[in-house]
Amino acid sequence: MRLADLATPALVVDVDVAQANITTMAELHPGARLRPHVKAHKCTLLARMQRDVGGHRTFTCATPREVVGMAAAGLGDDLLLANETLDDGRLRKMVECGGRVTVAVDSRDTIEAAARAGVGEVLVDVDVGLPRCGCGPEVAGALADRARQAGLVVRGVMGYEGHLQMETDDHVAKVASSMELLQRAALDVGGDVISTGGTGTAVAHAELSVANEVQAGSYVLMDSQYGTRDLPFRQALFVWATVISVSERYAVADCGLKALGMDHGNPTIAGAQVWFCSDEHVTFSGLAGLRPGHRIAVVPAHVDPTVAYHDRMHLVHGPPGADTEVVDTWEVDLRGW
Ligand SMILES: Cc1ncc(COP(=O)(O)O)c(C=O)c1O
C-alpha cells in the first residue's frame, strides 16, 4: 500500500528517523541510564525497538494500562509507574502483571494504597519545581520511613522537571538547581535510584550526572514544539491528511483537533501557514497548486496526546509523500488507563 491509498487522518512514522533518534539518545544515555517513557508513543513495538536498538530494558509508564500492557508484551523487566494512583483494582492488576513494578508515591495515602494492593517497590516522588505530583523535598525522608514501615522497598526518588523542558535561558544552571532539590531528597530517602528528565533536558542531564536515569519519551517521534529547541532529534511523526476543500485564499484538510494534540498550539505544515484547527479540519494557506484529494503531512505540536487519539501508526522509510510505501502498521496498543 502507498500513503496515497491510506484512509485519513492517519498517523505516519518515518521508522528510519525514529530509529536514528533512539540511537542518538542511547549514545547520550546508554542502557539503564535511560528509562524511556512509553506514554509518548503508547506502542509496545516501538518500546521493543528502544530495547533492541537502544539497549534499554527499564521503562517509565504514565498509566496502569501502560504497565500491564508492557509486561504482557514481554517488556516488564523493570517498569516504573511515574504517577500516583489510589485505585486498588488497578494497583492489583499491576502487582499481578508478571513484571517488576515500581510505583511513585508522594503521600501517606498513596503509600497505604500501594501497601494494601501488595505493591513491592516504590520511588518517592519529589516536587522539583513543577506544580504536578511530588512531595516537598523536606518531607521525602519521612515518607520513605513510612513506606518502609508499611513493608515497601524504597528504591529511591523521582522528580519531573517539566517546567524546564522548553527553557532555553540558563538551561543547564536551572536544571542543576532543580536537581539540587532531588539530590537533597535522595540523601534523606536512601535507595539507589534518582530518576528524572525528559527530551528537553536529556542533554543537560548527560552533562550534570546527578540523576542516574532519564525518563525521556518524546525524542523517538518528536513534535513541532520540541522541534523549536536545538535538540539532536528529528521529526519522525506525521498526521497524514487529505485536502478536502480549496478556495482562493486557503485550503482545508481533514485533520482537526480530534486527530491532533492541540495543547501546545497549532500543528505545522511544511511551506504553509496554518490558520487554525477545528474539530475535523485544519485550515491553511501558502501551498500552490493544491486540489481536493491531494495529501499532506501535518506535524503535531504535541506528540503524546496526538498518538493517544489514534489506534494505529503506519510505518514508512523516508519523508512521507503520496507514493511512499507503507511498510508496516503497528497498533497503538497501550492506550487507555
Ligand atoms: C513523569 C514524566 N517523566 C518524563 C517526562 C518526559 O517526557 P518527554 O520526553 O516526552 O518530554 C514526562 C512528560 O510529561 C513525565 O510526565
Atom of ligand 1 nearest to the CA of 165: 11
Pick from 22, 37, 182 the residue to mutate for probing ligand 1's pocket: most ligand atoms within 8 Å of its CB: 37
Atom of ligand 1 nearest to the CA of 217: 9
Q: Write down the pLDDT at residue 209.
A: 87
What is the rounded average pLDDT for all residues in the chain?
98
Cα(249) to centroid(ligand 1), Å: 39
* Minimal-distance CA residue to ligand 1 atom 3: 215
pLDDT digits (tens, 9 = 90+) for 263-295: 999 999 999 999 999 999 999 999 999 999 999
* Minimal-distance CA residue to ligand 1 atom 5: 198
Q: Say what the alpha-carbon torsion angle 282, 287, 288, 294 is, to the nearest 10 degrees.
A: -50
**Sequence-ordered strand ranges (E) for the chain:** 10-14, 58-61, 78-81, 101-105, 121-125, 153-159, 193-196, 213-214, 237-246, 251-253, 273-277, 282-285, 295-298, 312-316, 328-331
CB-based contact 89:118 (threshold 8 Å) = no
* Minimal-distance CA residue to ligand 1 atom 2: 160
Q: Write down the pLDDT at residue 82.
A: 98
Beta bridge mates, 241: 296
Atom of ligand 1 nearest to the CA of 83: 1
Spatial separation of the C-alpha atoms in residues 189 and 200, rounded to whole Å: 27
Cα(160) to centroid(ligand 1), Å: 7
Which amino acid, residue 89?
A: G
Pick from 29, 132, 215 the residue to mutate for probing ligand 1's pocket: most ligand atoms within 8 Å of its CB: 215
Task: Extract the residue ranges of the chain whose pLDDT is less than 70.
Answer: none
**Sequence-ordered strand ranges (E) for 88-188:** 101-105, 121-125, 153-159
Atom of ligand 1 nearest to the CA of 200: 11
Cα(144) to centroid(ligand 1), Å: 23
pLDDT digits (tens, 9 = 90+) for 97-141: 999 999 999 999 999 999 999 999 999 999 999 999 999 999 999
Map residue 22 onto helix, strand or coil: helix
Spatial separation of the C-alpha atoms in residues 138 and 185, rounded to whole Å: 7
| R_g over Cα of the chain | 21
Cα(162) to centroid(ligand 1), Å: 7
Q: What residues flank ligand 1, with Cβ below 6 Å?
A: 37, 40, 60, 82, 160, 162, 165, 198-200, 215-219
Element (H, E) at 232: none
Pairing of strands 237-246, 213-214: unpaired
